[in-house]
Chains A and B, each alone.
Chain A
């Protein structure tokens, strides 16, 4: 199994959207994919047509002392989903966070017990750091995708996050790439930010930009992925290309 962590430096970067669509793209190509929600916001499930009032999820099961593996769903796209789940109270979340902080290899141990098809790619929708859930994912990730929108706040926060990630004690560090999301070539700031990244962070800039496209939020509102609602849209094309690049990157032998 290959494990991909997706995270953002600021809210609204599109981490959940990209996680869902990368999983759906892989599933659409008959590649086993597992989308895992490691964010207490518990929103990843909505991209997979799960009911809004369904409280199930791994964190909820864990908090109740039940086996979390039974909380997996198969989406209409064919991707498997492990939702975070709805917790009863903030205290429950705090208890869970303390439990995971005390067991830094909890996720590594749990993933090793899963009986998944060979070549499964697990995609983790991570909460912003600091988060014990994200720490668990970063400890096992084979690839980290840092999602950022082309705006000044995201740019500044992303630079700070990159420094923070570089200081992490894990060795060797997994490959990390920046993915520019909601790019609009008509906007000068977007073009300038892309030019800056191509110069200052060329080595870690993913070669695929995801363009801003109204079909993405519309798809979520229709409880579908963009591949299903608008298969010929720019975003569908970009997200498909990003999935293809990601698979190629995971297949490289240099880690």
Chain B
């Protein structure tokens, strides 16, 4: 039932920044890290969501 995940969209600004330092392939990972951090903060704020997510065992 789960379709394969599409490639993470990366803004041109971020891609250009990483390209300038010769690390263009790291741009999606940067966004993933930012997204993961936002999700982690969300779980810390809302105990019920953390429980449902299995992060409050």
Chain A residue, CB-CB nearest to B4: A203
Q: How many of A's residues come within 8 Å of B, CB to CB?
A: 24
Chain B interface, >50% SS class: helix
Nearest CB to that of A173 among chain B residues? B1
Chain B positions within 8 Å of A193 at CB level: 42, 49
Q: Choose among B3, B4, B39 the residue that contacts A199 (Cβ–Cβ < 8 A).
A: B39
- Which residues from B are CB-within-8-Å of A196? 39, 42-43, 49, 53
Inside 8 A of A254's CB, which chain B residues have their CB? 3
Name 5 A/B residue pairs within 8 A (Cβ), A-sorted.
Answer: A152-B49, A199-B35, A200-B39, A203-B5, A204-B3
Question: How many residues belonging to B are interface residues under a CB distance threshold of 8 Å?
Answer: 19
> Are A192 and B2 also in contact (CB < 8 A) when A198-B35, A199-B39, A200-B53 are?
no
Asked if A175 is an interface residue, CB under 8 A from chain B, the answer is yes
Tally of contacts, chain A with chain B, CB under 8 A: 56
Question: B residues 2-55 with Cβ under 8 Å of A?
Answer: 2-6, 35-36, 38-39, 41-43, 45-46, 48-49, 52-53
* Residues from chain B with Cβ under 8 Å of A159 in the complex: 52
A156 contacts B52, C-beta separation under 8 Å: yes
In the complex, which residues 193-239 of chain A have their Cβ closer than 8 Å to any Cβ of chain B? 193, 195-196, 198-200, 202-204
Task: Please give, as numbers and ranges, the residues of chain A lying within 8 Å of B3 by CB-CB distance.
Answer: 175, 203-204, 254
